[in-house]
Amino acid sequence: MELEQGGADLIHWDVMDGNFVPNLSFGADVIASIRPLLTIPFESHLMVNEPTWILDAMVEAGCSTVMVHAEACRHLHRTLGRIGELGATPAVVINPATPLEAIVEVLDLVGLVLIMSVNPGFGGQSYISTVENKTRRLRDIIIERGLDIDIEIDGGIAPSTIASAASAGANRFVVGSAMFRDPDGFAHATNELRTLGTAALA
């Protein structure tokens, strides 16, 4: 498909329940139907209250990373452990207003932390730059504890924002509107963003 041919490293699926966020989206059956068409990895971002009921289906659909919101899980430690038991990489998500203290006790369980730089549920929102302070603090904690964790930023990532997000410590980025709205196509958008992000990480 065009995204893979254009150089995307993976597909990030936003799964919404109409409860944790106002919108509804597709489920595991749609993801499973697309899985045979692509070779790049799939990750699922579960904007779902108490997501334990859908974890198995996401992994069976072909998602190698499963992300759950700290704000949506009553038993976050147990939920992340279950993702690992299923053979996927556990990941935890925090919203812009959620403090890092909500996840410091589960960092040993995850391979990725997703920091939302917009409020979840809608595309096309403006980047909330104050999350960069949180990103820097998280990167320092990861280094101090000797952990191997990727930091991913989701929301408002564009040529004008990716460098500052990378400089703050993020090494993965979810891109939506900036890629689809580039008049020169997916490949141009991907190359431009990768160049800017890589330069900032150097």
Contact 128, 148 (CB under 8 A): no
Give 60-119 as a DSSP string: HTTEEEEEEEGGG-TTHHHHHHHHHHTTSEEEEEE-TTS-GGGTGGGGGG-SEEEEESS-
Query: 14 an active-site residue?
Result: yes
Instruction: List the end-to-end C-alpha distance of the chain, in Å, as a whole number.
Output: 31
Structure tokens at 111: 């391979």
Query: 154 an active-site residue?
Result: yes
Looking at 148, 154, 182, 184, which residue is catalytic?
A: 154
Rg of the chain over all Cα atoms, to the nearest angstrom: 16
| Sheet-wide strand order for 42-47 | 11-16, 42-47, 63-69, 89-94, 112-116, 150-154, 172-174
Strand, coil or helix: what is 149? coil
Looking at 14, 148, 150, 184, which residue is catalytic?
A: 14
Report the distance separating Cα 6 and Cα 196, nearest Å.
17
Residues known to be catalytic = 14, 154
